[in-house]
Amino acid sequence: MAFIYASCALGAICLISFLVNFNKKRTVIGVFNKMTVSIFFIMTAFFGILHSMDKIGDPSIIKYGLLVLIGLVFGMLGDIYLDQKWVYPNDEKKYLYAGFITFAIGHIFYITALAVKAQLKFVYVLLGACVGLLVVIVNIFIEKFTTQNFGEYRFIVMLYSLLVGTTPGVALVATIMTHGEPAFIVFLIGAVFFLLSDIVLSPMYFSKGKNTPVNFVINHVTYYIGQYMFALSIIFLK
């Protein structure tokens, strides 16, 4: 457990350093600084898997841990791609698409991890996807009645919204179906924070004047709370 605590603490320190420096000047060095924060949530998941090795009698625990770990790796890749769009604005389109796609793949692994560990039937996964559908509908109304304009990214935004909304939906279903397994409660909290980070991020990307320092900090703090909660959920498996 000491390694888990240490990786979380070091990740928090690196996050503070990133927020202070990258918000002042968006450089490649800042991207690597942020990548370090992501490495620590991956390490948290890795140490969580090692911590759960004594429960090897249940192979679904290891499967869950590995699937979450892979999802976190895709999250780190998504971070790298999205931040490159600030460093190389001329290539914004390809980096934005790459970021959306890699994060979407990560959520597929998260959803799979929940379904495997909770032994959810496909119909229950579809029930969780109703939350994702609700997020899509909200995004449609947001674009229609606010200053947000998804433009040519509309399809990928809606697809990503479906997945990022399905993750907490499936986590909620898994929590209910397992009568409140602690790991799924922790994961659900993380999924809500992750969704909140995207709610803040959306106007930063698709509205003018919303990419403020306050939104920048809120977006990253909620995002990293979400990712670290995903990683920490592994140690609560039973």
For 152-178, the pLDDT digits (tens) are 999 999 999 999 999 999 999 999 999
Q: Is residue 132 predicted with pLDDT exceeding 70?
A: yes
**pLDDT category, 104, cuts 50, 70, 90?**
very high
**What whole-number distance in Å separates Cα of residue 203 and Cα of residue 146?**
10
**What whole-number distance in Å separates Cα of residue 204 and Cα of residue 56?**
44
Q: Is residue 196 predicted with pLDDT exceeding 90?
A: yes
Q: Is residue 84 within 8 Å of 31, Cβ to Cβ? A: yes
* Res 72: pLDDT: 97
Q: Is residue 56 predicted with pLDDT exceeding 60?
A: no
Closest C-alpha to 77, from 112, 108, 34, 48: 34
**pLDDT category, 221, cuts 50, 70, 90?**
very high
**pTM > 0.85:** yes
**What whole-number distance in Å separates Cα of residue 189 and Cα of residue 225?**
9
- pLDDT tens for 13-33 read 888 888 887 655 566 666 677
Q: Is residue 76 within 8 Å of 31, Cβ to Cβ? A: no
Q: Which residue has the tokens 């928090």?
A: 12
Q: Is residue 138 predicted with pLDDT exceeding 90?
A: yes
- Helix (H/G/I), strand (E/B), else coil: 23: coil
